[in-house]
Structure 1
Amino acid sequence: MNRKEFCEVFDIPYRTVTEWERGTRNAPNYVLRLLAYYIRMENMVNKKGDNDGKDY
């Protein structure tokens, strides 16, 4: 996912993410925790889908 897609998916202004990347501004800790949670949940869903619904 590129920066533009990331901003659209999470509804974060493009400039804000750019400033986070440049280090001129820091993402709040709660945002980082929410993003980490989202990634963990996506990984869990993807892993469940890898076995085509079969529990081995």
Structure 2
Amino acid sequence: MNHSKKIKELRESTGMNRREFCDYFQIPYRTVTEWERDNRHAPEYVLRLLEYYIRTEKLVNEKAGDNTDE
């Protein structure tokens, strides 16, 4: 998968629009826009870190939801 598709897929998996994603991860809006348009490429380590963080946060949120049901 190319970088532009990967960054967009990661952003969409969070349910955030581009502005929310940028604000949450403190990445300049123009940077993410350029990544998604394939004008610039996000470093591979950034993609891996974003993917890891998003996956981890989802797990944390699911566990927190399970605790409130008890």
The verdict on a shared fold, with TM-score over 0.5 as the criterion, is yes
TM interval, shorter chain, is: 0.7 to 0.9
Instruction: Find the partner of 1:38 among 38, 41, 53.
Output: 53
Match of 2:33 in 1: 18
Q: What do the CA deviations read for 1:12-45 (whole angstroms, capped 9, x no partner)? A: 1111111111111111011101101111111211
Name the amino acid aligned to 1:18: T
**What residue ranges of structure 2 are gaps of 5+ in the alignment?**
1-15
Instruction: Please state whether the residue corresponding to 1:51 is helix, strand or coil.
Output: helix
Instruction: Please state whether the residue corresponding to 1:50 is helix, strand or coil.
Output: helix
Computed over aligned residues only, the root mean square deviation of the Cα atoms, in angstroms, reads 1.5
Please identify which structure carries the higher helix content. Answer: 2
**What residue ranges of structure 1 are gaps of 5+ in the alignment?**
none
Runs of 4+ in structure 1 off by over 3 angstroms are: none
Does residue 51 in structure 1 map to residue 66 in structure 2? yes
Q: How many residues align?
A: 54
Higher relative contact order (CA 8 A, sep 6+): 2
Residue 53 of structure 1: how far off its partner (Å): 5.8
